[in-house]
Structure 1
């Protein structure tokens, strides 16, 4: 037959309509996957990332249809490369590393600019420690001249930071007896008297420094003064910081500086999605979960979300922060 009966045509139309409606519902409920690159499972990034992924996921009352997961990684540089390459929607990074990536400087010298890199939120500070032997008579950064100092291993963000700090006081690696050790071996050499001081970047208190302070005694060298004020004006990813008294045994309150742990994404991520993610991150339920879940979770606050940015905010995040009055 060339033509369907009226009954068959109506039936066909009904089925087609049902299929179309079903397809619309399916599209509306299609989950959006949002990976968060973190760090090693033994570090701070991974558990904090897990908490954030949990609170923003739709299944837990977060952003509808969003499935967020924390992914273990090699840290800041790896996360930025994953965002750049499209293998991750977001990731954590030190603010200094984010700045170098965005500007094609520092660790990213000669590798090109990651111009689409954007900040979702500043999460918490990562303090620059300058740890010295108690008997090394190092009272300021300037006193490092001629001393045996570990600047951290090649390729690390700490190495670049330590060079900047030395430079603020008119020093270079040639003015110290530089070594390039990870914090663990550097601490061992300090304990053995084979090293005078070393740089470390991380949240306080850190276990290795606490153990060293208890077993051998240490001093924390202040990173402060007009030299540092000038440096802060030049490098906006740094901020003033203070290690409270007795954070480490017998160590008084010490002024220093910090970089920030930041949550980054690509400018290509939809504005509405990032807006809703940030809105969910700072609601009352999420705040309670973050505070209960990890010591650093208590520091993830709306009031500090735009501190020490260094690179542009994602437009979706920027819209939310302006609505909340934390950004002009």
Structure 2
């Protein structure tokens, strides 16, 4: 009888212990990393190709900033197909943060323009911060004989990954210049592959949308003298009047002077922004926003464009609604969110 009583008592103790473990996990919240109010979130940042600007900045944010934020259990950055892919995969829950072009973010939230988004809005995307201008750089080599947009006709031109933000920009620039894909041989290549193609002569020019200086162009310059085309004034005027997110930009010649560029580059730019999963808690996003701007030096050391990420420009070109947590931080710092 004593053994039966002892066995029964042990079973009761065991059941209570198991129940306690279950309630602790429930209260500790989020075992799948989706960032509910009850627990810490595992943050994955969607960036871009390793030869672009998104990747080094995203890695710096993950490794040196967000991993120590209250409400975040871990942070890592992954190389991706950039803006369009990041938007689609945020909708699927793969990323909690992503770097995207402001035009692509607008298309994603509103479900328009690009076939990837028509009828497929991204409903969980909110604004986090604006980063820096992304220059439309049309790069070729000094010995290609290409000196203007008109010279692209009949050439093999890398236009970015298919469906990417860079590819959307390429189509729009060509259209404004009176050209279409029928006038060129379009090659769907990321920045690194485009740079390699220019080096080995399989392509003649490439569209690269990224903050200057861009490593893909610098890598090309290690073997070839580069030439980045200027966009004519009339084409710039067409682009800026037709698309509100484009702004005129000047890239000084010394940006690529060590690689053969001898003149300033006149072009247009979109704004790189960071977007965040709107389902993350307000407190967590507030803490992340605060940490980003209190550790801005880490971004500057990761890439020259990190110096452009400031509170003064935090909402420049922001094309979608802010996450309430980010908005709270900006308001406390005197940044107008209207």
Cα 1:186–1:278, aligned 2, differ >3 Å: closer, same or farther? closer
Matches within 5 A, 1:170-209: 170-191=178-199, 195-209=203-217
**Structure 1 position 264, deviation (Å):** 1.0
User: Aligned to 2:260, which of 234, 250, 253?
Assistant: 250
Distance 1:149 1:92 in 2: 25
Residue number in structure 2 paired with 1:299 = 308
Residue number in structure 2 paired with 1:66 = 72
* 8 Å CA contact 2:90, 2:124 repeated in 1: no
Distance 2:109 2:268 in 1: 22
Residue number in structure 2 paired with 1:93 = 100
**Structure 1 position 129, deviation (Å):** 1.3
* 8 Å CA contact 1:51, 1:293 repeated in 2: yes
Distance 1:212 1:85 in 2: 35
Matched, 1:52 2:58: no
Distance 1:183 1:27 in 2: 42
Matches within 5 A, 1:193-232: 195-232=203-240
* 8 Å CA contact 2:236, 2:248 repeated in 1: no
Q: TM-score, normalised by structure 1?
A: 0.75
Could you report, residue by residue, the CA deviation over 1:302-328 in whole angstroms, capped at 9, with x for unpaired residues?
Answer: 122212223222233234334423545
Distance 1:122 1:112 in 2: 24
**Structure 1 position 225, deviation (Å):** 1.6
Q: TM-score, normalised by structure 2?
A: 0.73
For structure 2, list consecutive stretches of 5 or more residues without a partner in the other structure: 1-19, 30-36
Cα 1:229–1:87, aligned 2, differ >3 Å: closer, same or farther? same
Residue number in structure 2 paired with 1:325 = 335
Matches within 5 A, 1:226-305: 226-248=234-256, 249-251=259-261, 252-283=263-294, 286-305=295-314
**Structure 1 position 220, deviation (Å):** 1.0
